[in-house]
Amino acid sequence: MRGIIYLALFGGSLLFLSGCWDRVEVNDLAIITAAAIDKKEDDRIELSLQVFIPKAMSSGGGQGGGGGSGEPVTFVTSYEGKNLAEALSKLQTELPRKVFWGHCHIFIFGEEVAREGIQDHLDFLLRHPQPRERAFVFVSDGKARPLTEMQTQLENFSAETIRRQANLGVGLKTTMQKLDGMLASEAQAAALPYIKLSTEKGTQSDYQYPHIIGTAVFKKDKMVGTLSLAKTRGVIWLKNEIEEYTVTLKPKNINGDISLNPVSTQVTMTPHIYNDEWEMDVNIRTEGAVVQNRTTIDLTNPSSIQLAEKAFQEDIKNRIKSTIHELQQDLDTDILDFAKEFHHKYPKHWRSVKNRWDEIFPQVKVNINVKGNIRRQGNINESVKSREER
């Protein structure tokens, strides 16, 4: 009897030893590092995948001859389809390995696709279990595929170059998860970094490089226009996402200019409704560190500091004013979450206008108050120019 019990327990334990029957080896995967989506004829799209070549890294290669044997680290393959699911299915038939999205950090929409609408494409990417929700999303000036094919100078492949640019905070940093949240927000508006592939003439050959040139603005899921890089700075201020950034300002009635790096920033937005007049108070407190002084100002002098701080405040205020004006009057798109702020504070008012927020947003009066202080003057108090003029 005891033997039967032991045998039953042993047999039952085998049920929990499932082994690795569903394991997939790395050598069986086609690892995707970037994806580009472009519009083709007859309402079709083209999906281009940048695929990693493991053997190239082991032999010291690099895309565009970056080192070692000079073998490329990635290759790009494309296929057309009615939608992403169909294009990916066709692509898979041409690849000897199973497509794996887990290392895809970059998704780029071509401008034509972006203007027609990205919701269906985003739906596929969010439903698929592999694409990373923290992957960065961009809109390209023109076709997106060339950004995956370009040769790179500093990194092994173009996706890594673009990812590093995004992390530097030159433009907005928008992940797939963040994009989905923006499109589902009260304003149903979104902002993506707008990226361009440029060509420079070198001594031996031309070389290409990607750079962020501004912001692609979306109303619902369709791109309606762009903001310049200068106005993008205004959006970054308002979203309290300032990172690596230099402000160059010219104090009134002073020759030369001063450059500062904001080292801390606090932004608050407070909505008000007075007799059906909608207003938004924007308050910004920031501190800056002087990185260059090309004036004769002595930054140890309190009156000189006040002069520089006033110019600092005016520069930020004018930049934000210009950005808000373009969003309200030219693009009529609320990528600043004004709708969300009004909804939280005035839920009843919001419910009465939510279906016509496009009419309300351009009429919102924005009151901007900036308090900027200079806390660090650097290791020298006077500029070199000031000492030379003694």
Q: Write out pLDDT tens, residues 333-384.
A: 999 999 999 999 999 999 999 999 999 999 999 999 999 998 866 555 555 5
Instruction: Give the Cα separation of 316 and 371 in Å (integer).
Output: 10
- Find all residues with CB under 8 Å of 390, minimum gap 6, and list them: none
Which one-letter DSSP state was computed for residue 205? Answer: S
**How far is Cα 159 from Cα 327, in angstroms, rounded to an integer?**
30
Helices 176-183 and 119-127 pack at an angle, to 10 degrees, of 130
Cβ atoms 262, 287 nearer than 8 A: yes
pLDDT at 235 over 70: yes
Predicted pLDDT of residue 1: 61
- DSSP-derived letter for residue 356 is G
Task: Say what percent of the chain tops pLDDT 90.
Answer: 57
Distances (CA, A) of 157 to 45, 89, 326: 24, 25, 36
Separation in Å, CA 107 to CA 174, 195, 273, 344: 11, 12, 40, 32
**What's the pLDDT at 380?**
52
Mean of pLDDT values over 52-64 = 62
Mean pLDDT of the chain: 86
Of the candidates 135, 26, 32, 154, which has an alpha carbon nearest to the alpha carbon of residue 92? 32
The residue-averaged pLDDT of 82-111 equals 92
Q: Are 265 and 247 in contact (CB under 8 A)?
A: no
Tracing tokens 């979450």 back to the chain, one arrives at 337
The angle that helices 229-238 and 302-325 make with each other, rounded to 10 degrees, is 100
Residue 356 CB partners (closer than 8 Å, separation 6+): none
Packing angle, helices 84-94 and 119-127, rounded to 10: 60
Estimate to the nearest angstrom the gap between the alpha carbon of 356 and the chain centroid: 28
Residues 6+ away with beta carbon under 8 Å from 172: 191, 192, 193, 215, 232, 235, 236, 239, 241
Is 265:285 a contact under the CB 8 Å cutoff?
yes
Six-digit token string for 304 = 């000189």
Tokens for 332, please give them: 């009529």
Half-sphere exposure of 21 (CA within 13 A, CB side): 4
Coil, helix or strand for 331?
coil
Sheet holding 365-376: strands in order across?
247-249, 258-274, 277-293, 365-376
pLDDT given for residue 153 in this prediction: 77
CATH 3.30.300.210 range(s) for the chain read 246-390
Q: Is the pLDDT of residue 109 over 90?
A: yes
244 or 388, higher pLDDT? 244
For domain 246-390, give the fold: GMP Synthetase; Chain A, domain 3 (3.30.300)
**Above 60 in pLDDT, residue 147?**
yes
CB 342 within 8 Å of CB 375: no
Supply the pTM of this predicted model: 0.86
Phi, psi of 194 (to 5 degrees): -100, 115
Reduced 3-state DSSP string for 131-154? CCCCCEEEEECCCCHHHHHCCCCC
Q: Is 3 helix (H, G, I), strand (E, B) or coil?
A: helix
